[in-house]
Amino acid sequence: MLIDALAAECAERDQDADCVRIDAAISRSEQEIAALEDQQLDSDELRKQWSAVRDRTILAIRDVVNNVVQRAAEARATEAWMIQTLEREESDKRVMEEFSITLKEVPTRKLVDYLGYLLQIGDRARIQSVRMVFAARKDRKAYDVTFGKMLAQFVLAEHGDLGERLTRICRLAEKVDARIANLFYAYSITNRSSSLVPPQLAQVKAPTIDGFDVEIADDASKTVASAATN
């Protein structure tokens, strides 16, 4: 994991440098592929030449790509550890119990709205209450992704520079993944051919989102404000 600030800074710097190397290598390959178009080769020869360029490039950057993916995995593991730490955090049990009772009749969709509001005001005890009530809901799967992203954003924001570095490490990995995917698709796109089916690439998921996936409904805010005064 990248819990140490210095380790995260070094990982971010290395991630950036490796992504520059990968981008340069793919750009050269794209130029070679574009040059093939001007040679008026038949379809079989064009495919053979394109495949050679692609395979040579992938082989050249393989180790660097593995490093990029590994750093992103470490960043995601660090994020997961941060969320687990929040979940284990001790809070005012009386407040949690009282608020949990209030939430029992609240629809699951509204729990997501509650979470958004509580994250904004930083009410950690009630955040824990919402999290526990949400975890017990049978219909939570439809909201799991949104709920998790909101918690992740909150946790990373609380860790300041460290959270920003983890975010950037994963986003750089996403960009590399997209660039490699484009390289595999280059032939079929430029030639409108369905004969080439690019292999499945490993997807790298960033641990944060740029904004909440749901807006806090006015009635949800009013309900929470009322519950907070009880």
The DSSP string of 110-154 is: HHHHHHHHHHHHT-HHHHHHHHHHHHT-TTGGGGHHHHHHHHHHH
Domain ranges of the chain: 5-228
Reading the chain (230 residues) residue by residue, the pLDDT tens digits are 787 788 889 999 999 999 999 999 998 988 888 888 777 777 788 888 888 888 898 899 999 999 999 999 999 999 888 888 877 766 556 666 677 777 888 888 888 988 899 888 888 878 888 888 888 888 889 999 999 888 888 888 888 889 899 999 999 999 999 888 887 775 554 454 434 344 444 444 433 333 333 333 344 444 334 434 44
Report residue 224 CA to chain centroid gap: 29
pLDDT at 129: 82
**Strand runs (DSSP E) across the chain, as ranges?**
none
17's tokens: 């440098």
Q: How far apart are CA 74 and CA 80, in angstroms?
A: 10
- Exposed, middle or buried by CB within 10 Å (0-12, 13-18, 19+), for 88? exposed
pLDDT at 212: 36
Neighbours of 225 (CB within 10 A): 11
pLDDT at 73: 94
Report residue 150 CA to chain centroid gap: 12
Q: How far apart are CA 140 and CA 147, in angstroms?
A: 9
Q: How far apart are CA 150 and CA 225, in angstroms?
A: 20
User: Residue 169: which of 9, 5, 53, 6 has the closest Cα?
Assistant: 9
pLDDT at 125: 79
pLDDT at 203: 46
